[in-house]
Amino acid sequence: MKIAVICWGSIFWDKGSLKTIGNWKNDGPELPLEFCRISSHGKSKERLTLVLNESSKTCVTYWDLMAATDLKTARNNLRDREGTVTDDIHTFTRNQNPLSSIAKQIEIWLIKHPEVDAVVWTGLTSNWSELRRNKFSNEDFIQYLDSKKNSIARIKEYFDKAPLQSQTVGREVFVKWCCDQGI
């Protein structure tokens, strides 16, 4: 089985333990993405990460074939690289019934990529409302940035390394905010 892994965030610049057989291809599925997750990984709790967000505009993702040829191994490899739980790693196989809008976008992408039998991806979503007690919005995003001026370098590093084709509303707001702040 040929299994593709979809990428849009930190895996792009740091595959870590992820085992793939090539380089990132820039014609992955178009998925709704936004910088609307406050990281809980390690020391970088201020970092904003790029995650799936159903109400966001779509961005073209990246993909590569996994070295693994079975879904369980591929899923476990991605889970270990991400440092998350198995439930956060999603899969979709050719001829499966898409049960979500994300799966539907992947199904459309698979039609154009007959060389791929299945797809794995990290299904993390926004935790903004939970941690900020507000719905994600441009205004609250700016308030968050204003409150994190002392650690803005860590936040900016993630934005700078994230694939440029991930042109989200949050990225546009961040770039303008940085310009306004002289950063």
10 Å CB burial of residue 172 (0-12, 13-18, 19+) is: exposed
Q: What is the pTM of this model?
A: 0.91
What are residue 125's phi and psi, to 5 degrees?
-125, -175
Q: What is the DSSP string of 109-144?
A: HHHT-TT--EEEEE--B--HHHHHSS---HHHHHHH
Could you give the CA distance from residue 124 to residue 108 in angstroms, rounded to a whole number?
Answer: 21
Residue 4 confidence (pLDDT): 98
45 has pLDDT over 70: no
Quick one: pLDDT at residue 12? 96
pLDDT tens-digit series, residues 100-124:
999 999 999 999 999 999 999 999 9
pLDDT (0 to 100) of residue 150: 86
Q: Is 16 left (phi over 0), alpha (psi -120 to 50) or beta?
A: left
Mean of the pLDDT values across residues 141-152? 91
